[in-house]
Structure 1
Amino acid sequence: FDYFDQLTANGMQVTPKIAPNLVLTTDETMMRRVFQNLIGNWLKYAKNQASVTLVRQDEQHLTITFTNNTDKPLANADQLVDRFYTTDSARTTQSVGLGLSIVQSLTTTLGGKMTLQADRQQFAVTLTFRDHNV
Protein backbone atom coordinates (compact mmCIF):
# COMPACT_ATOMS: atom_id res chain seq x y z
CA PHE A 1 0.00 0.00 0.00
CA ASP A 2 2.11 2.87 -1.35
CA TYR A 3 0.12 5.67 0.28
CA PHE A 4 0.03 4.36 3.86
CA ASP A 5 2.61 6.84 5.21
CA GLN A 6 0.94 9.83 3.54
CA LEU A 7 -2.52 8.83 4.75
CA THR A 8 -1.23 8.26 8.28
CA ALA A 9 0.58 11.62 8.27
CA ASN A 10 -2.71 13.28 7.26
CA GLY A 11 -4.46 11.62 10.21
CA MET A 12 -6.50 9.34 7.97
CA GLN A 13 -7.89 6.07 9.24
CA VAL A 14 -8.53 3.80 6.26
CA THR A 15 -10.69 0.71 6.61
CA PRO A 16 -10.37 -1.95 3.89
CA LYS A 17 -13.36 -4.25 3.46
CA ILE A 18 -12.40 -6.90 0.94
CA ALA A 19 -14.48 -10.02 0.38
CA PRO A 20 -12.45 -13.24 0.19
CA ASN A 21 -11.67 -15.10 -3.02
CA LEU A 22 -12.41 -12.27 -5.45
CA VAL A 23 -10.26 -11.85 -8.53
CA LEU A 24 -10.56 -8.97 -10.97
CA THR A 25 -8.75 -9.58 -14.24
CA THR A 26 -7.91 -6.19 -15.73
CA ASP A 27 -5.12 -3.96 -17.01
CA GLU A 28 -2.84 -3.39 -14.03
CA THR A 29 -1.43 -0.06 -15.22
CA MET A 30 -4.83 1.52 -15.82
CA MET A 31 -6.29 0.17 -12.57
CA ARG A 32 -3.26 1.43 -10.64
CA ARG A 33 -3.89 4.92 -12.10
CA VAL A 34 -7.55 4.73 -11.06
CA PHE A 35 -6.53 3.83 -7.50
CA GLN A 36 -3.84 6.54 -7.43
CA ASN A 37 -6.36 9.20 -8.42
CA LEU A 38 -8.96 8.07 -5.89
CA ILE A 39 -6.45 7.81 -3.04
CA GLY A 40 -5.06 11.19 -4.11
CA ASN A 41 -8.58 12.58 -3.64
CA TRP A 42 -8.60 11.15 -0.12
CA LEU A 43 -5.37 13.00 0.60
CA LYS A 44 -6.82 16.29 -0.68
CA TYR A 45 -10.41 16.18 0.49
CA ALA A 46 -11.15 13.43 3.02
CA LYS A 47 -11.66 14.16 6.69
CA ASN A 48 -10.34 11.59 9.16
CA GLN A 49 -11.91 8.39 7.83
CA ALA A 50 -12.07 6.56 4.54
CA SER A 51 -12.83 3.05 3.38
CA VAL A 52 -12.35 0.90 0.33
CA THR A 53 -14.73 -1.99 -0.25
CA LEU A 54 -14.42 -4.80 -2.79
CA VAL A 55 -17.45 -7.09 -3.01
CA ARG A 56 -19.35 -9.25 -5.44
CA GLN A 57 -22.41 -7.25 -6.50
CA ASP A 58 -24.09 -10.23 -8.15
CA GLU A 59 -23.03 -13.37 -10.02
CA GLN A 60 -21.41 -11.40 -12.83
CA HIS A 61 -20.21 -8.13 -11.30
CA LEU A 62 -17.68 -6.89 -8.76
CA THR A 63 -17.78 -3.46 -7.16
CA ILE A 64 -15.01 -1.39 -5.66
CA THR A 65 -16.18 1.55 -3.56
CA PHE A 66 -13.96 4.33 -2.24
CA THR A 67 -15.76 6.26 0.52
CA ASN A 68 -14.59 9.17 2.63
CA ASN A 69 -15.95 11.57 5.21
CA THR A 70 -16.20 15.16 4.08
CA ASP A 71 -17.08 18.46 5.65
CA LYS A 72 -18.16 20.06 2.37
CA PRO A 73 -21.64 19.36 1.02
CA LEU A 74 -21.45 18.41 -2.65
CA ALA A 75 -24.64 19.59 -4.30
CA ASN A 76 -23.34 18.94 -7.82
CA ALA A 77 -21.48 15.65 -7.41
CA ASP A 78 -22.15 14.61 -11.01
CA GLN A 79 -20.19 17.66 -12.22
CA LEU A 80 -17.05 16.32 -10.56
CA VAL A 81 -16.43 14.08 -13.58
CA ASP A 82 -16.45 17.08 -15.94
CA ARG A 83 -12.95 17.93 -17.10
CA PHE A 84 -11.46 20.88 -15.20
CA TYR A 85 -14.42 21.16 -12.79
CA THR A 86 -13.46 21.63 -9.15
CA THR A 87 -15.44 22.60 -6.06
CA ASP A 88 -12.47 24.71 -4.97
CA SER A 89 -12.97 27.87 -7.02
CA ALA A 90 -9.92 29.45 -5.38
CA ARG A 91 -7.84 26.40 -6.41
CA THR A 92 -6.21 26.19 -2.98
CA THR A 93 -5.92 22.38 -3.19
CA GLN A 94 -3.78 22.46 -6.35
CA SER A 95 -6.51 20.55 -8.17
CA VAL A 96 -7.06 21.14 -11.86
CA GLY A 97 -10.24 19.06 -11.90
CA LEU A 98 -9.06 16.11 -13.97
CA GLY A 99 -8.85 13.28 -11.42
CA LEU A 100 -12.39 11.92 -11.51
CA SER A 101 -12.65 12.56 -15.25
CA ILE A 102 -9.59 10.34 -15.71
CA VAL A 103 -11.04 7.72 -13.34
CA GLN A 104 -14.28 7.66 -15.32
CA SER A 105 -12.46 7.42 -18.66
CA LEU A 106 -10.18 4.59 -17.52
CA THR A 107 -13.04 2.72 -15.86
CA THR A 108 -15.05 2.91 -19.08
CA THR A 109 -12.03 1.77 -21.11
CA LEU A 110 -11.71 -1.22 -18.76
CA GLY A 111 -15.37 -2.09 -19.42
CA GLY A 112 -16.65 -0.77 -16.12
CA LYS A 113 -19.04 1.87 -14.87
CA MET A 114 -18.42 4.64 -12.34
CA THR A 115 -21.09 6.18 -10.10
CA LEU A 116 -20.84 8.95 -7.52
CA GLN A 117 -22.82 9.44 -4.34
CA ALA A 118 -22.56 12.42 -2.04
CA ASP A 119 -24.30 13.90 0.94
CA ARG A 120 -23.32 16.35 3.67
CA GLN A 121 -21.00 13.90 5.40
CA GLN A 122 -19.79 11.31 2.89
CA PHE A 123 -18.57 11.04 -0.66
CA ALA A 124 -18.37 7.70 -2.47
CA VAL A 125 -17.05 6.58 -5.84
CA THR A 126 -18.26 3.13 -6.90
CA LEU A 127 -16.65 1.24 -9.76
CA THR A 128 -18.53 -1.75 -11.16
CA PHE A 129 -16.79 -4.31 -13.35
CA ARG A 130 -17.96 -7.47 -15.06
CA ASP A 131 -16.33 -10.55 -13.55
CA HIS A 132 -14.81 -12.41 -16.50
CA ASN A 133 -13.69 -15.25 -14.21
CA VAL A 134 -17.16 -16.78 -13.80
Structure 2
Amino acid sequence: MLILTLISVAAAALLLAYSLVLRRELGRMTAQLRRHNQRTTGKKLEVTLFDKRLEALADQINCQSDLIVEAEANRRRTENELRQAIANISHDIRTPLTSIFGYIQLLEVEPITPEEKHEYLYIVKNRTKRLQALLNDFFELSLIESADYQLKAERIVMTVLLSDTLVGFYDPFNEAGLTPDIRLPKEPVAIYADESAVRRVIENLLMNTIKHAAGQVTICFGQRETTAELRITNETRDLSELDVRLLFDRFYTVDRTRSAQGSGLGLSIAKSLMNKMNGTLTAELQENKLTMVCRWPLWLQGEAYPHYR
Protein backbone atom coordinates (compact mmCIF):
# COMPACT_ATOMS: atom_id res chain seq x y z
CA MET A 1 0.00 0.00 0.00
CA LEU A 2 2.79 2.35 0.89
CA ILE A 3 4.50 1.58 -2.40
CA LEU A 4 1.34 2.42 -4.34
CA THR A 5 1.03 5.67 -2.43
CA LEU A 6 4.62 6.59 -3.18
CA ILE A 7 4.14 5.75 -6.85
CA SER A 8 0.99 7.87 -6.99
CA VAL A 9 2.75 10.79 -5.32
CA ALA A 10 5.71 10.48 -7.73
CA ALA A 11 3.39 10.33 -10.73
CA ALA A 12 1.46 13.35 -9.49
CA ALA A 13 4.73 15.23 -8.98
CA LEU A 14 5.92 14.35 -12.46
CA LEU A 15 2.57 15.38 -13.94
CA LEU A 16 2.68 18.66 -12.05
CA ALA A 17 6.23 19.32 -13.20
CA TYR A 18 5.32 18.53 -16.80
CA SER A 19 2.28 20.80 -16.57
CA LEU A 20 4.44 23.63 -15.25
CA VAL A 21 7.02 23.11 -18.01
CA LEU A 22 4.25 22.91 -20.63
CA ARG A 23 2.65 26.07 -19.27
CA ARG A 24 5.98 27.88 -19.41
CA GLU A 25 6.57 26.64 -22.97
CA LEU A 26 3.13 27.79 -24.08
CA GLY A 27 3.83 31.20 -22.56
CA ARG A 28 7.15 31.38 -24.40
CA MET A 29 5.47 30.41 -27.69
CA THR A 30 2.78 33.02 -27.10
CA ALA A 31 5.43 35.69 -26.57
CA GLN A 32 7.21 34.61 -29.78
CA LEU A 33 3.97 34.74 -31.73
CA ARG A 34 3.13 38.17 -30.31
CA ARG A 35 6.51 39.58 -31.39
CA HIS A 36 6.03 38.03 -34.83
CA ASN A 37 2.55 39.54 -35.20
CA GLN A 38 3.87 42.94 -34.08
CA ARG A 39 6.50 42.70 -36.83
CA THR A 40 9.32 43.10 -34.30
CA THR A 41 10.81 39.81 -35.46
CA GLY A 42 10.58 37.56 -38.47
CA LYS A 43 11.66 34.42 -36.64
CA LYS A 44 9.38 31.42 -36.67
CA LEU A 45 8.16 29.65 -33.55
CA GLU A 46 10.71 27.46 -31.82
CA VAL A 47 9.82 24.66 -29.40
CA THR A 48 12.29 23.66 -26.71
CA LEU A 49 10.04 21.12 -25.02
CA PHE A 50 10.17 17.70 -26.65
CA ASP A 51 6.51 17.04 -27.35
CA LYS A 52 5.33 15.84 -30.76
CA ARG A 53 1.89 17.43 -30.44
CA LEU A 54 3.37 20.77 -29.41
CA GLU A 55 5.87 20.62 -32.25
CA ALA A 56 3.06 19.82 -34.69
CA LEU A 57 1.12 22.84 -33.41
CA ALA A 58 4.16 25.09 -33.87
CA ASP A 59 4.67 23.76 -37.40
CA GLN A 60 1.07 24.56 -38.32
CA ILE A 61 1.35 28.05 -36.83
CA ASN A 62 4.53 28.63 -38.82
CA CYS A 63 2.80 27.41 -42.00
CA GLN A 64 -0.09 29.77 -41.33
CA SER A 65 2.36 32.64 -40.81
CA ASP A 66 4.01 31.82 -44.14
CA LEU A 67 0.62 31.86 -45.86
CA ILE A 68 -0.18 35.24 -44.31
CA VAL A 69 3.16 36.68 -45.42
CA GLU A 70 2.62 35.30 -48.94
CA ALA A 71 -0.92 36.67 -49.08
CA GLU A 72 0.32 40.08 -47.95
CA ALA A 73 3.04 40.06 -50.60
CA ASN A 74 0.49 39.08 -53.25
CA ARG A 75 -1.83 41.85 -52.07
CA ARG A 76 0.92 44.47 -52.33
CA ARG A 77 1.95 43.17 -55.73
CA THR A 78 -1.65 43.24 -56.95
CA GLU A 79 -2.09 46.79 -55.65
CA ASN A 80 1.10 47.90 -57.40
CA GLU A 81 0.00 46.22 -60.62
CA LEU A 82 -3.41 47.87 -60.35
CA ARG A 83 -1.91 51.31 -59.77
CA GLN A 84 0.46 50.81 -62.70
CA ALA A 85 -2.35 49.51 -64.89
CA ILE A 86 -4.54 52.50 -64.03
CA ALA A 87 -1.66 54.88 -64.79
CA ASN A 88 -0.94 53.14 -68.09
CA ILE A 89 -4.54 52.93 -69.29
CA SER A 90 -5.08 56.56 -68.28
CA HIS A 91 -2.08 57.52 -70.42
CA ASP A 92 -3.12 55.32 -73.32
CA ILE A 93 -6.67 56.69 -73.31
CA ARG A 94 -5.74 60.31 -72.70
CA THR A 95 -3.17 60.43 -75.51
CA PRO A 96 -5.51 59.59 -78.43
CA LEU A 97 -8.33 61.59 -76.85
CA THR A 98 -6.12 64.69 -76.61
CA SER A 99 -5.06 64.23 -80.22
CA ILE A 100 -8.65 63.72 -81.39
CA PHE A 101 -9.82 66.81 -79.52
CA GLY A 102 -6.95 68.88 -80.93
CA TYR A 103 -7.69 67.99 -84.55
CA ILE A 104 -11.41 68.55 -84.05
CA GLN A 105 -10.58 72.04 -82.83
CA LEU A 106 -8.50 72.61 -85.96
CA LEU A 107 -11.41 71.47 -88.10
CA GLU A 108 -13.75 73.87 -86.32
CA VAL A 109 -11.54 76.96 -86.04
CA GLU A 110 -8.91 77.07 -88.72
CA PRO A 111 -9.68 77.97 -92.33
CA ILE A 112 -8.36 74.80 -93.93
CA THR A 113 -8.09 73.41 -97.41
CA PRO A 114 -9.95 70.24 -98.50
CA GLU A 115 -6.61 68.39 -98.44
CA GLU A 116 -5.93 69.46 -94.85
CA LYS A 117 -9.46 68.53 -93.85
CA HIS A 118 -8.99 65.08 -95.36
CA GLU A 119 -5.67 64.66 -93.51
CA TYR A 120 -7.14 65.75 -90.17
CA LEU A 121 -10.12 63.43 -90.53
CA TYR A 122 -7.78 60.58 -91.40
CA ILE A 123 -5.75 61.20 -88.22
CA VAL A 124 -8.89 61.46 -86.07
CA LYS A 125 -10.18 58.20 -87.54
CA ASN A 126 -6.92 56.38 -86.78
CA ARG A 127 -6.76 57.73 -83.22
CA THR A 128 -10.37 56.64 -82.69
CA LYS A 129 -9.59 53.16 -83.95
CA ARG A 130 -6.64 52.91 -81.58
CA LEU A 131 -8.80 53.99 -78.66
CA GLN A 132 -11.50 51.50 -79.64
CA ALA A 133 -8.94 48.66 -79.90
CA LEU A 134 -7.56 49.52 -76.46
CA LEU A 135 -10.99 49.48 -74.83
CA ASN A 136 -11.92 46.25 -76.61
CA ASP A 137 -8.72 44.56 -75.41
CA PHE A 138 -9.26 45.79 -71.87
CA PHE A 139 -12.82 44.49 -71.86
CA GLU A 140 -11.76 41.16 -73.35
CA LEU A 141 -9.02 40.63 -70.75
CA SER A 142 -11.43 41.43 -67.92
CA LEU A 143 -13.91 38.96 -69.39
CA ILE A 144 -11.34 36.19 -69.84
CA GLU A 145 -10.06 36.50 -66.27
CA SER A 146 -13.54 36.33 -64.76
CA ALA A 147 -14.62 33.07 -63.13
CA ASP A 148 -17.69 32.87 -65.39
CA TYR A 149 -15.67 32.79 -68.62
CA GLN A 150 -15.96 29.30 -70.09
CA LEU A 151 -14.01 27.61 -72.87
CA LYS A 152 -15.15 24.69 -74.99
CA ALA A 153 -12.80 21.76 -75.51
CA GLU A 154 -12.81 20.19 -78.95
CA ARG A 155 -10.39 18.22 -81.08
CA ILE A 156 -8.10 20.55 -83.05
CA VAL A 157 -5.54 19.47 -85.63
CA MET A 158 -2.91 22.05 -84.76
CA THR A 159 -0.91 21.60 -87.96
CA VAL A 160 -3.98 22.59 -89.99
CA LEU A 161 -4.93 25.48 -87.72
CA LEU A 162 -1.38 26.84 -87.72
CA SER A 163 -1.09 26.63 -91.50
CA ASP A 164 -4.41 28.43 -91.94
CA THR A 165 -3.46 31.16 -89.45
CA LEU A 166 0.00 31.71 -90.94
CA VAL A 167 -1.45 32.12 -94.44
CA GLY A 168 -3.55 34.98 -93.08
CA PHE A 169 -0.39 36.70 -91.84
CA TYR A 170 1.46 36.54 -95.14
CA ASP A 171 0.80 40.21 -96.01
CA PRO A 172 1.66 41.62 -92.52
CA PHE A 173 4.94 39.69 -92.50
CA ASN A 174 5.71 40.83 -96.01
CA GLU A 175 4.92 44.48 -95.21
CA ALA A 176 7.24 44.28 -92.20
CA GLY A 177 10.02 42.90 -94.38
CA LEU A 178 10.05 39.57 -92.55
CA THR A 179 10.24 36.10 -94.08
CA PRO A 180 9.60 33.60 -91.28
CA ASP A 181 11.25 30.21 -91.27
CA ILE A 182 8.26 27.93 -90.67
CA ARG A 183 8.80 24.36 -89.49
CA LEU A 184 5.71 22.17 -89.12
CA PRO A 185 5.65 18.39 -88.78
CA LYS A 186 4.39 16.32 -91.71
CA GLU A 187 2.20 14.15 -89.50
CA PRO A 188 -0.90 15.77 -87.95
CA VAL A 189 -0.71 16.75 -84.27
CA ALA A 190 -4.05 17.08 -82.48
CA ILE A 191 -4.99 18.56 -79.13
CA TYR A 192 -8.29 19.13 -77.38
CA ALA A 193 -8.74 22.83 -76.71
CA ASP A 194 -10.94 25.80 -77.51
CA GLU A 195 -10.30 26.58 -81.18
CA SER A 196 -11.11 30.29 -81.02
CA ALA A 197 -8.90 30.68 -77.94
CA VAL A 198 -5.99 28.82 -79.57
CA ARG A 199 -6.34 30.92 -82.71
CA ARG A 200 -6.41 34.14 -80.67
CA VAL A 201 -3.27 33.14 -78.78
CA ILE A 202 -1.38 32.43 -82.01
CA GLU A 203 -2.61 35.64 -83.65
CA ASN A 204 -1.56 37.75 -80.66
CA LEU A 205 1.90 36.18 -80.63
CA LEU A 206 2.34 36.69 -84.37
CA MET A 207 1.20 40.32 -84.17
CA ASN A 208 3.65 40.92 -81.33
CA THR A 209 6.42 39.34 -83.38
CA ILE A 210 5.66 41.48 -86.43
CA LYS A 211 5.70 44.65 -84.32
CA HIS A 212 8.94 43.98 -82.50
CA ALA A 213 11.05 41.54 -84.54
CA ALA A 214 14.40 42.97 -85.55
CA GLY A 215 15.61 40.15 -87.79
CA GLN A 216 15.08 36.50 -88.55
CA VAL A 217 11.83 34.91 -87.35
CA THR A 218 11.51 31.17 -86.76
CA ILE A 219 8.20 29.42 -86.11
CA CYS A 220 8.44 25.80 -84.96
CA PHE A 221 5.69 23.44 -83.94
CA GLY A 222 6.01 19.86 -82.80
CA GLN A 223 4.89 17.15 -80.47
CA ARG A 224 6.75 16.36 -77.26
CA GLU A 225 6.10 13.51 -74.85
CA THR A 226 2.91 14.89 -73.33
CA THR A 227 2.57 18.30 -74.95
CA ALA A 228 2.20 20.06 -78.26
CA GLU A 229 4.73 22.89 -78.39
CA LEU A 230 4.80 26.08 -80.45
CA ARG A 231 7.99 28.15 -80.41
CA ILE A 232 8.20 31.60 -82.06
CA THR A 233 11.72 33.03 -82.07
CA ASN A 234 12.81 36.42 -83.32
CA GLU A 235 15.88 38.60 -83.02
CA THR A 236 15.37 41.60 -80.79
CA ARG A 237 17.20 44.75 -79.75
CA ASP A 238 17.41 46.48 -76.37
CA LEU A 239 15.42 43.77 -74.57
CA SER A 240 16.52 42.94 -71.02
CA GLU A 241 15.76 40.05 -68.70
CA LEU A 242 13.53 42.41 -66.71
CA ASP A 243 11.53 43.20 -69.84
CA VAL A 244 11.06 39.47 -70.47
CA ARG A 245 9.79 38.90 -66.92
CA LEU A 246 7.25 41.71 -67.35
CA LEU A 247 6.12 40.93 -70.90
CA PHE A 248 2.85 39.31 -69.82
CA ASP A 249 1.90 42.02 -67.32
CA ARG A 250 -1.12 44.12 -68.19
CA PHE A 251 -0.33 47.24 -70.24
CA TYR A 252 3.41 46.57 -70.14
CA THR A 253 5.26 47.78 -73.20
CA VAL A 254 8.99 47.71 -73.84
CA ASP A 255 8.60 51.18 -75.37
CA ARG A 256 9.14 53.40 -72.30
CA THR A 257 7.48 56.35 -74.01
CA ARG A 258 4.41 54.19 -74.81
CA SER A 259 4.42 55.66 -78.29
CA ALA A 260 3.72 52.32 -79.98
CA GLN A 261 0.29 51.57 -81.35
CA GLY A 262 -0.29 48.47 -79.22
CA SER A 263 -2.30 48.44 -76.03
CA GLY A 264 0.16 46.26 -74.13
CA LEU A 265 -2.65 43.76 -73.52
CA GLY A 266 -2.11 41.28 -76.36
CA LEU A 267 0.36 39.08 -74.49
CA SER A 268 -1.67 39.31 -71.27
CA ILE A 269 -4.73 38.07 -73.16
CA ALA A 270 -2.70 35.22 -74.68
CA LYS A 271 -1.32 34.24 -71.27
CA SER A 272 -4.76 34.26 -69.65
CA LEU A 273 -6.23 32.12 -72.44
CA MET A 274 -3.39 29.60 -72.15
CA ASN A 275 -3.97 29.36 -68.40
CA LYS A 276 -7.66 28.76 -69.01
CA MET A 277 -6.77 25.89 -71.36
CA ASN A 278 -4.44 24.32 -68.78
CA GLY A 279 -1.51 25.22 -71.00
CA THR A 280 1.52 27.44 -70.49
CA LEU A 281 2.97 30.49 -72.22
CA THR A 282 6.51 31.53 -71.35
CA ALA A 283 9.21 33.80 -72.74
CA GLU A 284 12.92 33.10 -73.01
CA LEU A 285 15.77 35.44 -73.93
CA GLN A 286 19.06 34.04 -75.20
CA GLU A 287 21.71 36.03 -77.05
CA ASN A 288 19.32 38.77 -78.26
CA LYS A 289 16.77 36.19 -79.39
CA LEU A 290 13.33 36.19 -77.83
CA THR A 291 11.37 32.93 -77.87
CA MET A 292 7.71 32.63 -77.01
CA VAL A 293 6.84 29.06 -76.01
CA CYS A 294 3.25 27.75 -75.96
CA ARG A 295 2.55 24.28 -74.60
CA TRP A 296 -0.79 22.51 -74.74
CA PRO A 297 -1.34 19.12 -73.10
CA LEU A 298 -1.86 16.39 -75.69
CA TRP A 299 -5.06 14.43 -75.60
CA LEU A 300 -4.34 10.74 -75.96
CA GLN A 301 -6.90 8.37 -77.40
CA GLY A 302 -8.90 6.71 -74.67
CA GLU A 303 -8.51 9.57 -72.18
CA ALA A 304 -11.44 11.66 -71.00
CA TYR A 305 -11.82 15.13 -72.49
CA PRO A 306 -10.15 17.80 -70.38
CA HIS A 307 -12.37 19.99 -68.24
CA TYR A 308 -11.49 23.66 -68.09
CA ARG A 309 -11.95 25.62 -64.93
Q: Structure 1 length normalisation: TM-score? A: 0.91
Residue 268 of structure 2 corresponds to residue 89 of structure 1:
no
Report deviation, 1:85: 1.1
Q: CA RMSD in A?
A: 1.4
SS in 2 for 1:29: helix
Q: Which residue of 2 aligns with 1:98?
A: 265
CA deviation profile, 1:10-63 (whole Å, cap 9, x unmatched): 1101011112321233211111111111111112100232121111221x2111
Question: What is the aligned partner in structure 2 of residue 13 from structure 1?
Answer: 179
Counterparts of 1:1-134 in structure 2, within 5 Å, are 1-21=167-187, 22-58=189-225, 60-76=226-242, 77-134=244-301
Q: Which structure has the bigger radius of gyration?
A: 2
Look up the SS of the partner of 1:36 in the other structure: helix
Percent identity at matched positions? Answer: 26
Q: Counterpart amino acid of 2:177?
A: G
* d(CA) in 2 for partners of 1:114, 1:79: 13
Equivalent pair of 2:231/2:292 in contact (CA under 8 Å):
yes
Aligned length in residues: 133
Shift of 1:122: 0.8
Counting helix residues as a fraction of each chain, which structure ranks higher?
2
Distance, in Å, in 1 between the alignment partners of 2:265 and 2:287 is: 23
CA contact (8 A) 1:27 1:110 kept: yes
Write the distance in 2 (CA, Å) between the matches of 1:73 and 1:119: 10
Q: Where is the strand percentage greater, Structure 1 or Structure 2?
A: 1
Whether contact under 8 Å (1:72, 1:120) holds in the other structure is no
Residue identity matched to 1:112: G
**Which consecutive residues of structure 2, in runs of 5 or more, have no partner in the other structure?**
1-166, 302-309
Instruction: Work out whether residues 279 and 294 of structure 2, in 8 Å CA contact, stay in contact via their aligned partners in 1.
Output: yes
8 Å CA contact 1:14, 1:49 repeated in 2: yes
State the alpha-carbon separation in 1 of the partners of residues 169 and 203 from structure 2. Answer: 9
Which ranges of structure 1 fall in alignment gaps of 5 or more residues?
A: none
SS in 2 for 1:100: helix
Shift of 1:72: 2.1
Deviates more, 1:101-110 or 1:72-81: 72-81
Q: TM-score, normalised by structure 2?
A: 0.41
